[in-house]
Amino acid sequence: MDRRAPNRETDRRAPVDPARRRLVAGIAAAAAMPELARAQASERRYRLCWLASATTRQEVYAIAFTDRLRELGFDEGRNLTIEFRNAEGRVDRLPALAAELVRTRCDVVFAPGTEIALTAAKRASADLPIVIVANDYDPVSTGHIPSLARPGGRITGVTPLQSELPAKRLETLKLMLPAAKKVAVLADVSTVSQVASVRDAARRLGVALQLHELRDPPYDYDAAFEAIARARPDALFALTSGIFAASRAKITGLALRHGLPSIFTHSIWVDAGGLASYGLNFSDLYRRAADKVGRILNGAKPADLPVEQPTSIEFAINLRTAKALGIAIPPSVALRATYVVE
């Protein structure tokens, strides 16, 4: 302990004005407020309910979704709990799974993929915010929202507008295979809204469509391809279905085994052995959906968040598959590819 006598001269201090003291204290408190707010925000825990038709959390685009949430400050295991339910292709299970999720008292529901998942989420709760990735339907033409710019209500998210892209895929397939006259179309219950667009394009292109609709998942893809092969089509066109995506290795393998050039919705199919794909980047769609989730968790209302329609298109080609099928991709088409597997 310092026992030196105090210096009376240096220890003399002017009396402190009480008003000035209150002012200084107020400034110090205000300066501390941002840190206090951040500390309080970090202590809050959020609950996200994720309703999947068939997608697992190991998919590259599902990982992109949670990675983006982490970048936004919502870290699973720290301040975010994710309640995940997967119908594993059994879309009849979605209503019960949605109801189960709602009982966990979630802050927002993430219902990507099939329209059936969105419908189940809507019926399970009358007020919870819902974020979608409308992979296989158009949320405006199906009546879920009045417009992309003003969705109103409690639904927001992203959409590739499937009322337009299927026609573009068929046009791309025709450019790759100018001699193709018959195209087998792989469809299911979640692709109904895409069929009209493809039929219109087929009439313009002079292509005959052979619709093969799979029912009662899990699907028997072997039997479906046996039926397709008997019809002797020139190519295969798979419509966009979250259920199909989970079985893409099986589908692309069967297409190659039966000698069918194929086109799909996303480059993950090309990585799996499909000949080509034309569409939006799924990982980008899911990251954008994570942005919507983050804004809702931060207090935004879905009605005020426009549904995004990304416009950056990927055209992918698998040249190894082309070689295995004995197909020469026209150079003018190959040059348009934004992603190539060699």
Q: pLDDT at position 17, please?
A: 53
Same fold? 43-160+282-304, 165-281+313-341: yes
Q: Does residue 83 contact residue 101 with C-beta atoms inside 8 Å?
A: yes
Distance CA 272, CA 63 (A): 18
Q: pLDDT at position 161, please?
A: 67
Render pLDDT for 43-78 as a digit per residue (tens, 0 to 9): 799 999 999 999 899 999 999 999 999 999 999 999
What are the phi and psi torsion angles at 329 (to 5°)? -70, 125
Residues across the chain: 342
Which residues, at least 6 apart from 97, have a Cβ–Cβ distance to it below 8 Å?
51, 85, 87, 120
CB atoms within 10 A of CB 146: 12
Q: Does residue 201 contact residue 165 with C-beta atoms inside 8 Å?
A: no
Q: pLDDT at position 217, please?
A: 84
Crossing angle for the helix pair 221-230 and 248-257, to the nearest 10 degrees: 30
Pick one of 1.10.1740.10, 3.40.50.2300, 3.40.640.10, 3.40.50.720 as the CATH number of 43-160+282-304: 3.40.50.2300
Q: pLDDT at position 66, please?
A: 98
Structural domain spans, the chain: 43-160+282-304, 165-281+313-341
Q: pLDDT at position 310, please?
A: 86
Q: pLDDT at position 163, please?
A: 67
Q: pLDDT at position 108, please?
A: 98
Distance CA 107, CA 40 (A): 18
| Integer-rounded Cα radius of gyration of the chain | 27
User: And the tokens for 133?
Assistant: 């990735």
Q: Parallel, antiparallel, or unpaired for β 235-238 and 208-213?
A: unpaired
Q: Parallel, antiparallel, or unpaired for β 262-264 and 276-280?
A: parallel
CB atoms within 10 A of CB 155: 23
Q: Does residue 252 contact residue 269 with C-beta atoms inside 8 Å?
A: yes
Render pLDDT for 299-335 as a digit per residue (tens, 0 to 9): 999 999 999 998 889 999 999 999 999 999 999 999 9
- Consecutive 10-residue averages of pLDDT for the chain (342 residues): 40 45 45 44 84 94 97 97 95 96 97 94 97 90 94 95 83 96 94 88 97 93 97 96 91 98 96 96 95 98 95 93 96 95 94
Q: pLDDT at position 312, please?
A: 84
CATH code of the region 165-281+313-341: 3.40.50.2300
Q: 257 exposed, middle or buried (CB, 10 Å; 0-12, 13-18, 19+)?
A: exposed
